[in-house]
Amino acid sequence: MGLARASYSTLLYALSPLIVQRIWREQLSGYRRAQRLGFALGTFPAGPRIWLHCASVGEVRAARGLIEGLLARYPEHILCVTTMTATGARQVHALADELGNPRLVHRFVALDFPGAARRFVAALAPALGMLFETELWPNLIDACARQGVPTALVNGRISPRAFKRYRAFTGVMSETLDKLDWIAAKSPADAERLEALGAPPARMAVVGSLKFDMTLSSTTREQGERLRATLAARPVWVAGSTREGEEEQVLAAHRTLCQRFPDALLVLAPRHPQRFDAVAALIERQGFRLARRSRGEAITAETQVYLGDTLGELGVLYAAGSVAFVGGSLVPLGGHNVVEPALLGLPVLCGPSLENFDDVAAPLLDSGALMRVMDASALANAVASLWEVPSLALEQGAAGRDVVMAQRGALRRTLAGLDALLPADEAHLDRTF
């Protein structure tokens, strides 16, 4: 073990009480916690395996097109998608149910301790391993290299904020990136930052963002349209993936909107399920009449806020609105995926913090499909202007959809690059994207 990785592993062991305490909460029935240490992966359907690791729910959603492409391109393989979080696990299960494909399975990834990583890779024995976006785990990647498993970083990104952190660990990062067989960077800026951290340029390609290749099922659209139909002609806006400290600003904007549009409805979907009850209590404390989706509560004429406190339904909720605000952006957290509501043809709003999605946000901002607002007052004014001039909302929504369609292609380029690591069955190449 190199000195840099040894130092990294020593630090992990020193922090293990905190790490285990944090991960202990990320649990689902039917899973043994020993899976976090590389044990108890259970049985798999018969066939060779491919491994894709996504951190949590957002990454699983962004990887949907890739997941579908891999299942089509490698029809004899089992695709095991791992996550770190329970919400990510639920998202994988929901996708597997929707696709009706028994070859898509989920496991929790092992923590990046050397022994756990070795056991995990040995038990999974994948023919190909992929890590999504910034999931650069040194011991897992080293275990793959030692066991002869080709690995790739797909939709690879390093935000400016993450780059500053990683530069403090240049040694272990350089060693880790050098062990990857291929890196599919999502933008030239990401490729430049990855190269500065030690990624070999000869094994890296800029393929674009897989977020532009995301798909929405007909079921998602149909459920959203059915929900929208129950709301009659009410003005409806959706605030999705909101974070702590942001709901207060969204509710302040909604209070202003209710003064101008008395029948306005806010559909509010917080990012993390552990906050659902706290957000519901906040809504009620502020005097809004609330209905909760998780309880099957009907939206009546008196309902002012509909809380989307379920998992895997953000697309459905977006499809029920006429304007979308994407959270994680009025607070300094880097934003969330603005492509999904744009794909639905909605005008999209966000706050000033969008650095984690700057590459996908840039063409949407340039087209006028995405509008930045600085605070609750500006958010209320932006929503009101779109309601007051429906033709403007339609124009911005159409522009956003056009941008998303024009930017597609990363999935095709990613699958083509992976073919060098695990050749696809020629008979199935025409079934991929």
How far CA 115 is from CA of 42, 112, 121, 282, 313, in Å, comes to 18, 8, 10, 44, 37
Per-domain residue ranges of the chain: 20-208+409-431, 218-406
How is the beta sheet containing 204-206 ordered, strand by strand? 104-108, 78-83, 49-53, 128-132, 151-156, 182-185, 204-206
26, 59, 133, 313: the active-site residue: 59
**Domains 20-208+409-431 and 218-406 are alike in CATH topology:** yes
Which DSSP string do the residues of 51-92 spell out, in sequence order?
A: EEE--SHHHHHHTHHHHHHHHHH-TTSEEEEEESSHHHHHHH
> In this structure, which topology does domain 218-406 adopt according to CATH?
Rossmann fold (3.40.50)
Helix (H/G/I), strand (E/B), else coil: 433: coil
- Rounded to two decimals, what is the model's pTM? 0.86
CATH architecture for residues 20-208+409-431: 3-Layer(aba) Sandwich (3.40)
In this prediction, residue 433 carries a pLDDT of 46
In degrees and rounded to multiples of 5, residue 151 shows phi and psi of -130, 150
pLDDT along the chain (433 residues), means of 10: 84 86 80 89 94 93 93 96 93 92 96 95 97 95 97 94 88 95 95 96 96 86 91 93 97 98 97 94 97 96 96 92 97 93 96 89 94 97 97 96 95 96 68 46
In this prediction, residue 39 carries a pLDDT of 93
Nearest by Cα to 267 from 295, 231, 230, 240: 240
Q: Clarify whether 388 is annotated catalytic.
A: no
